[in-house]
A and B are shown apart, each in its own frame.
Chain A
Amino acid sequence: MYCRETDLKRADAELLMIGYGNSLRTDDGAGPAVVQRLSNLLPSQYSGSVEVMSCLQLTPELAAHMASFRRVVFIDASVAIPPGRIAIHRMECEESGSQLGHYFTPGILLTIAASVFGASPQAWTAAVGCQSADIGDQLTPTVIAAVERLARHLFRCVIGLIDTGVFSPEMFEGSNVAVGSE
């Protein structure tokens, strides 16, 4: 029989924000760009409770890392919303599906964190509508502006979390419609 481990991680840090995408495909790099901006905005004294990280794609070992946090935000570029728009949604585990290559979705990572590592962080997706995914290492002006707005919004949410213990990123630009535009 296979052995069960007892060293499951406990969530002891407040917030993990993961920006992912390919920074060599123009606006697909919006997620890492938001993280880069956040890392400049966040004061160093938050480093023990808030972590930002960027990666090219989501990989399964991220689930192990997520298990140390109470909350996770996945920041990505999207072609499903208009360029420059921002959509923030609360998300849940993915409970089914049969297809898998080497690419993992936020929902699968949440499922792995819960089933394999015994952790159930609250999670959100924050998407930036992209205008171009052509080859290039510069964001388009529309997305640069959206990246700045989203980074500042998430920064304010972090301040709120530290000050009040409340984290509500989906309350964006005075609305809970979860969509912001220029």
Chain B
Amino acid sequence: MPQTITIDGVTRIEGHAKITIQLDDAGRVYDAQFHVTQFRGFEKFVQGRPLTEMPGIMARICGICPVSHLMAAAKACDDILAVQIPPTAEKLRRIMNLAQMIQSHALSFFHLSSPDLLFGMDGDPKQRNIFGLIRDHPDFARDGIMLRKFGQDIIAKLGGKKIHPAWVVPGGVSAPLTEELQDSILKEIPSAIERIDRALDYFHQIEGRYPAEEDAFANFPTLFAGLVTADGLLEHYHGPLKFVDQDASLVAELNPADQRHYGSLIGEAVEKYSYLKFPYFKPRGYPDGIYRVGPLARLIVAERCGTRRADMELGAFRTRLGRSPQSSFHYHWARLIEILYGIEMIQRLLQFPDILNTHIRARARPNRLEGVGVSEAPRGTLIHHYKIDDNGLIQWANLIIATGHNNLAMNRGVRQVAERFVDGNKLQEGMLNRVEAVIRCFDPCLSCSTHALGQMPLRIELCKADGEVCDVLQRD
């Protein structure tokens, strides 16, 4: 008799979600789904608000990556104002965007995912958590905290506070960088490099221990998407949006001026079982147009990083895994490479001669009734699209969140892991942890408010179709 396993809620992710696994009569997995059970309503309730409020409102979508929404919102506003922001303002925005990526990647890798890697997927769940990490690996935990602090401190120094800074504004930024702040950030660069070097060394000692997970963690051919520079290098703020296939061959590209027409390449489907949309590559239809974004995708769409140390590490990555590794397990390594790149690039940007210029904002009234802002959030490409009326009030908004781009891949990944590891005749915690762990590879961010996030005890029930409970796993 067919049965369903429900994992509700998924732990060590941001937001609320559950996973269901459907079993056939023999207890074999025949389908699995990742459900996002919380609702966001930002596209609706910003209607009627003045355009100038959009960066500040949109930053409130998330307490984890407010800077990402701030960046995409400000770029959409720039597009509506039809301004080219001053070069110094662009560099300062880039620094904050990279700082955001560093702090987010550090939390994801060191504190949410590394317990699985350090204690093993089948490790005792009473140890395989933040307490086990800080007890058994305090130096590793310290490097993670200090790397996150490095990113958060830069955001606070530039924006005045760590969460929801209002410093990025339409047309540029609201205050210039001072020499004192420049020096204070630059002096932290060497220790940040040391910390990520140590983390990479340590990662190389453990990453080969998981061949089965490498093989089955969302390991299938898809397209990959992300921004690149005009020269094809790794990019997080502005540039062509590139889609490549499983061999890293170009499939489609949208230059910045054409990104208003993102709808020609990206469709958005919905499914009854989730509030998260299912974007897909439109020329291939739904659901065949599956693609991935985020750190792994960015390293695949880019020819190289463009900074010395990160390119050396990317060389090691490609030597071991090939030019275009398809397993989402490798998001972890990609995240560390991006942290290294971010530190190097922040140093480079801070050393530009014009970085202390005080011309940091272009001012204009709306010159278009529609604008699109595209940037790279830690989890992938982020698109904000607004339409205004003649009074500058928002009439319509559409957001394509990084986690959404990965929705099809996460669902297929959950199914692949379940098929490989879950035995429906007898539940084991390690099996179900792997189902969650494949989701954590993508580091999905589902929340619009994190302060109220409480405990998420996990109870998994294996039920017959008539509702009779056959087996239960409980995690407090």
Contact = CB atoms under 8 A, between A and B. Distances in A.
13 contacts: A2-B140, A21-B451, A25-B451, A55-B162, A57-B450, A60-B111, A60-B144, A61-B149, A64-B149, A99-B457, A101-B13, A115-B138, A116-B141
Interface in B164-213: 164, 198, 202
Given A3-B139, A112-B141, A99 B455 contact: yes
B131 A94 contact: yes
B198 A103 contact: no
A98 interface: yes
Given A98-B475, A100-B12, A111-B134, A56 B451 contact: yes
Contacts of A63: 145
Best-buried of A3, A64, A94, A116 by chain B (most CB within 10 Å):
A116
Given A100-B111, A101-B450, A59 B142 contact: no
Contacts of A96: 126, 131
Best-buried of B135, B145, B164 by chain A (most CB within 10 Å):
B145
Nearest to A63: B145
A112 B134 contact: yes
B146 A61 contact: yes
Name the interface size band of chain A. Answer: 35 or more
B145 A64 contact: yes
Contacts of B63: 56-57, 102
Interface residues of B, number: 47
Interface in A103-123: 103, 108, 111-112, 115-117
A2 B137 contact: yes
B142 A111 contact: no
A116 B110 CA distance: 13
A4 to B, nearest CB: 5
Nearest to A108: B130
B64 interface: yes
Contact of B148 (A3, A56, A60, A101): A60
Nearest to B62: A102
B129 interface: yes
A103 B453 contact: yes
B163 A2 contact: no
A61 B107 CA distance: 10
A103 B145 contact: no
A159 to B, nearest CB: 29
A163 interface: no
A112 B142 CA distance: 9
Interface in B8-53: 11-15
B418 to A, nearest CB: 22
Contact of B145 (A22, A94, A111, A116): A116
Contact of B130 (A2, A59, A100, A117): A100
B134 A57 contact: no
Contacts of B14: 101-102
B123 to A, nearest CB: 11
A112 B145 contact: yes
A15 B144 CA distance: 25
A115 B452 CA distance: 26
Contacts of B140: 2
Interface in B112-159: 112, 125-126, 128-131, 134-135, 137-142, 144-146, 148-149, 152
Interface in B215-264: none
A174 interface: no
B162 A116 contact: no
A99 B456 contact: yes
B476 interface: yes
Given A61-B145, A103-B453, A97 B129 contact: yes
A108 B133 CA distance: 12
Contacts of A111: 131, 134
Nearest to B453: A103
Contacts of A11: none
Interface string A61-79: 1011000000000000000
Given A64-B146, A99-B455, A55 B139 contact: no
Given A3-B139, A60-B148, A98-B129, A28 B450 contact: no
A56 B453 contact: no
A3 B452 CA distance: 37
Contacts of B449: 22
A182 interface: no
A42 interface: no
A25 B149 CA distance: 26
Contacts of B450: 57, 101-103
Contacts of A5: 139, 142
B94 interface: no
A98 B116 CA distance: 12
A121 to B, nearest CB: 16
Interface in A148-179: none
A100 B451 contact: no
Best-buried of A21, A25, A94, A102 by chain B (most CB within 10 Å):
A102
A24 interface: yes
A102 B141 contact: no
A99 B459 CA distance: 13
Contacts of A21: 451
A60 B449 CA distance: 18
Interface string B82-117: 000000000000000000000000010001100000
Contacts of A112: 134, 141, 145
